[in-house]
Amino acid sequence: MMKYKVVILLCFFTFGNMVFSQSGIVQNRASFKPSAIQSTNMVFKDKNYSTFYSEDTLNAALTEIQNKIQLSPHNYSLYVSLVDLYTRTKQYEKAYKELVSLYKLSTEDKLSFNTKEELINLLNRLKNNVRYEKNKSPIYMDMAILSLIADDKEGAQDYIGYASKGLVNEDMLKDAFSLIFNPQESSQKALEVCNNIISRNPEDVQIRKLKAQYLTQINNKDAAIEEYSVISALSPNDKDVKYNLYKLLCDKNYSQKDIINKMYPENTKNYEKIYADMAEILLKNNNLPEAKNYALMLTEKFPKNEVGYMVLADICQKEGDLKSAYEALSKLRDTADSSDAVAKYNVMLAKLSDEPVREANSLIATGLYQQALDVLDSANPENLYVILSQVRANYMLSNRQKTMELLNKAMSLYPDDSDVYCAFGWVYLQEKEIDTARKYADGSLKLNPENKSAQELLDMVNKAEADTYKSKIVALYEAQNYVQADKLIDEAVKINKKDANLYFYKALIYIAQNNYAAATAPLYMAIELDKTYAPSYFYLALSFDNLSEKKNALENYQKYLTLLKPDDYSETERKEYASSRISQLNNL
């Protein structure tokens, strides 16, 4: 009996020690400091960590690592610790996301040798553990990315192949697929992965496209044709798929009839739709001769179909045959009976004029006005911007009558267009008819308050009107009629608040009356509007000099001298005075 009691006591003490030991470990882990997390080898050594510790402890460790990462986001060893914990707790999808980030860092050479070694050690551990997993696919996904980090692409391809055979997150699988397989390389393993995904999801168009691409690369054109045929049925509006199928059928020397039957098995008799579809597909892929062939067949057999004319216009433009492009568009205009077709007509008509207008405007900018008109002769005569470019060129050639004819034509075609009003205003401004120019500038901005050209025109009109005051202001100043000169400046400023000269004149009036304190404000305003006009700094320095503000006077005299041009002899007297005063002030 005593013998049994001893055994029981020994068992009790042994069990007690185990409990004490385990609770001590839990306590130590729960209070573990973030700084102690350095590497996976130091933190997690026990293979059965996830079963040995409580769920609370694991969550605490996760929180601990994540907090540490927030404090040190570039300590990539911490991410390895996070991945290690995820894999030990079988959270393989979470581990995958972190591994992809680590792989991208490895491609940028941002992972240290030790960190890569830790990841390779993790891969080796997973190789041992995978046999114990019921659903092996998620762990294979992690092993595939780890193999990439270890520069073992072949191993990565093997693991992604194993992963694709089981149940796994499809988006994650496709993501890994794009990392592991190069689309430019043919690969039997890539085909196997594609087939595994398709077996579970036959309508996955994205993977089927990849499969067809790989089949084409390994020159299995018959299988690629069948694959593209399936994709075309699943995604009938995918023109890229249709074109790839078309190229393969041409490579296999299919006849036109057989090509149509293969590409449109459900619609072999609907030639209007087939010709229109083929014309657009071939045009999109810049196969102009074949696109033109189908477009011509479409316009010949189905003259009311709008697509044929649009395709022909586009092709003729690409070929530089603008005349034929306009002819095709004119037929489209006469044929179009839907708002969509009319909108496309307008877009294409504008598009045809874009290049000639750009070229003409370039020529106008360099003074080649007649050459600009020659270019515009081949453009659409009813396009607004063609007309406005013609207006500019004719005005610069002094063709006043033609200029007004073109402006009136623009107004009749586009009576509510802001740019038309702006063009009228620009011409009247050149003719110094300021009131009329202002009327059109205001009209342009009323139609479109965001029209920058109209705002610039209005600024020019304001400047021109304010300029008419300047000769009177100067005359009154020279006659020492300062009160009237100042009133006239105030009137001019109401018209054009952006004219630095007006504020400069106002300052001169104050200086002439020895009111140096009042002169500083308009001089600062003049400088704000024109920071390169040297005399403004001279008179600001002179004002501060007379106000006994030595520092400000010195700064502005020096700024004045800095801005002077060496050959500006009109400033000789002021230059000598400024130099003299700088010397005198420095000696005070």
CATH of the domain at 173: 1.25.40
In a domain, 243, yes or no: yes
Q: Measuring CA to CA, which residue among 427, 376, 374, 422 is closest to residue 399?
A: 427
Q: How far is CA 294 from CA 269, 332, 555, 562, 575, in A?
A: 15, 16, 76, 71, 78
Q: Do the beta carbons of residue 350 and residue 344 sit within 8 Å?
A: no
- The residues near 333 (Cβ < 8 Å, ≥ 6 apart) are 345
Residue 510's domain spans which residues?
Answer: 499-586
Q: Do the beta carbons of residue 418 and residue 445 sit within 8 Å?
A: yes
Q: Measuring CA to CA, which residue among 467, 419, 452, 459 is closest to residue 438?
A: 459
> Which DSSP category does 74 fall into?
T
Q: Which amino acid is at 87?
A: T
More confident residue, 474 or 269: 474
Q: What is the DSSP string of 412-470?
A: HH-TT-HHHHHHHHHHHHHTT-HHHHHHHHHHHHHH-TT-HHHHHHHHHHHHHHHHHHH
> Does residue 36 sit in the same domain as residue 144?
yes
In a domain, 337, yes or no: no
Q: Which amino acid is at 537?
A: Y
In a domain, 582, yes or no: yes
In a domain, 409, yes or no: no
Instruction: Give the model's pLDDT for residue 242.
Output: 87
Q: How far is CA 36 from CA 33, 76, 77, 257, 430, in A?
A: 6, 15, 12, 74, 79
Describe the crossing of helices 271-284 and 239-251 by its angle, rounded to 10 degrees. Answer: 90
> Does residue 23 sit in the same domain as residue 131?
no
CA torsion sign for 269, 271, 277, 278 is positive
Strand, coil or helix: 359: helix
Instruction: Give the model's pLDDT for residue 441.
Output: 92
Strand, coil or helix: 499: coil
Matching residue, tokens 């306009």: 326
Matching residue, tokens 């993977």: 207
- The residues near 54 (Cβ < 8 Å, ≥ 6 apart) are 26
Mark which of 240, 268, 296 sits at the end of a domain: 268
**pLDDT of 76-86, one tens digit each?**
888 888 898 88
| CB neighbours of residue 459 within 10 Å | 14
**pLDDT of 359-410, one tens digit each?**
888 888 888 899 888 888 877 788 888 899 999 999 999 999 999 999 999 9
> Does residue 199 sit in the same domain as residue 87?
no
* CATH number of the domain where residue 227 is located: 1.25.40.10
Q: How many domains does the chain have?
A: 4
Instruction: Give the model's pLDDT for residue 348.
Output: 65
> Does residue 137 sit in the same domain as residue 216?
no
The rounded distance, in Å, linking the Cα atoms of 393 and 368 is 8
Q: Is the per-residue pLDDT at 50 higher than 60?
A: no
CA torsion sign for 187, 193, 196, 198 is negative
| CB neighbours of residue 156 within 10 Å | 24
The rounded distance, in Å, linking the Cα atoms of 438 and 466 is 13
Mark which of 223, 243, 268 sits at the end of a domain: 268
204: Cα separation from own chain's centroid: 30
- pLDDT category at 432 given cuts 50, 70, 90 is confident
- pLDDT category at 422 given cuts 50, 70, 90 is very high
> Does residue 47 sit in the same domain as residue 140?
yes
In a domain, 467, yes or no: no
Most confident of 33-37, 165-169, 362-366, 537-541: 537-541
Q: Is the per-residue pLDDT at 7 higher than 70?
A: no
> Does residue 175 sit in the same domain as residue 64?
yes
> Does residue 4 sit in the same domain as residue 136?
no
In a domain, 88, yes or no: yes
> Does residue 110 sit in the same domain as residue 239?
no
Q: Do the beta carbons of residue 85 and residue 118 sit within 8 Å?
A: no
Strand, coil or helix: 513: coil
Range in 106-115, 502-511, 564-573 with the lowest mean pLDDT? 564-573
Instruction: Give the model's pLDDT for residue 39.
Output: 36
> Does residue 163 sit in the same domain as residue 200?
no
Q: What is the mean pLDDT of the chain?
A: 81
> Which DSSP category does 20 fall into?
H
Mark which of 145, 180, 215 sits at the end of a domain: 180
- The residues near 443 (Cβ < 8 Å, ≥ 6 apart) are 421, 425
Instruction: Tokens for 283, please give them.
Output: 């045009």
Q: Which amino acid is at 132?
A: Y
> Does residue 3 sit in the same domain as residue 138?
no
> Which DSSP category does 130 fall into?
G
The helix (H) or strand (E) run that includes residue 497 is none
In a domain, 151, yes or no: yes
Instruction: Tokens for 335, please give them.
Output: 């044929």
> Does residue 41 sit in the same domain as residue 150?
yes
In a domain, 352, yes or no: no
Q: How far is CA 546 from CA 366, 396, 519, 552, 585, in A?
A: 50, 51, 11, 11, 12
Burial class (CB in 10 A: 0-12, 13-18, 19+), 555: middle
What is the share, in percent, of the chain residues with pLDDT greater than 90?
24
> Does residue 4 sit in the same domain as residue 59?
no
